[in-house]
Amino acid sequence: MPTRESRALVNKNIIARIGNYRQSYGVNNFLRKLIFEGITIFNKINIRKLKSWLFFKSSNLRLGKNVIVNGLINSISIGKDNHYYENCIFHFHPNARFQTGDHVILSYHVLIACNYRISIGDHVMVGEYSSIRDSTHDYRADVPMINAQNIEREVVIGNNVWIGRGCLITEGTVIEDGVVLAANSVAKGRLLSNQIYGGCPARLIKSRV
């Protein structure tokens, strides 16, 4: 997640970049370049706002750059102050149901594959490169795996949950309120409230209480 120091560094780089433009192009060309940069930024912001409304039916969702959405979904509800960072990927089945609460953060490169039903509560953080999937393939030996039927089960993530970097949340998983899931863990089944889990598969490490 961006820190105050990283944001200050970005602002400093932008100021330095503007100064270099002015020295390189002269006053008139500098103004033309500044207007062009402003129009470019304005268009990118508007495209992200349009994508928020078209795909997520939300006017206040903050989308990062290069968020990919495959499939339109009818039943979708996004809470207040959701922020999906750069390069997140969403795969939606048209008949699926996707819901988030308020103050949800999906960090960089998070993948959501929603074929059936995924619900996420309030105040949830999902670390970068994590994957949340509500379906998997059957693996019967008498059928080629590429032709196997999907197994679909609802995924429920409660309130005040922190999912670390690189985690996999599998079909049918229920993560109760207050759970911390350590980085690079694989969650399956029910994770009880206010506990810390980790590993592959994720096991109870200790209580937060």
> Which CATH number do you get for residue 183?
2.160.10.10
Q: What is the mean pLDDT of residues 12-33?
A: 58
Q: Are residues 174 and 138 in the same domain?
A: yes
Q: What is the mean pLDDT of residues 91-116?
A: 96
pLDDT at 180 over 90: yes
pLDDT in tens, 116-146: 999 999 999 999 999 999 999 888 888 888 8
Q: CB count, 10 Å around CB of 136?
A: 17
What was the pLDDT predicted at 149?
Answer: 86
- Both structure tokens of 50: 């349009």
Question: Which of the pair, 57 or 188, is modelled with greater confidence?
Answer: 188
Q: How far apart are CA 126 and CA 175, in angstroms?
A: 13
What was the pLDDT predicted at 7?
Answer: 63
Q: What is the mean pLDDT of residues 14-29?
A: 57
Q: Are residues 181 and 84 in the same domain?
A: yes
Q: Are residues 91 and 167 in the same domain?
A: yes
Q: Are residues 103 and 117 in the same domain?
A: yes
Poorest-pLDDT segment among 38-42, 97-101, 183-187, 194-198: 38-42
Q: How far apart are CA 120 and CA 16, in angstroms?
A: 41
From 12, 33, 53, the end of a domain falls on 53
Q: Are residues 90 and 34 in the same domain?
A: no
pLDDT in tens, 150-171: 899 999 999 999 999 999 999 9
pLDDT at 22 over 70: no
Q: Are residues 74 and 33 in the same domain?
A: no
What confidence tier does 111 reach under pLDDT thresholds 50, 70, 90?
very high
Query: Structurally, how many domains does the chain consist of?
Result: 2
For 156, the domain range is 57-207
What was the pLDDT predicted at 72?
Answer: 85
Q: Are residues 108 and 192 in the same domain?
A: yes
pLDDT at 49 over 90: no
pLDDT at 2 over 80: no
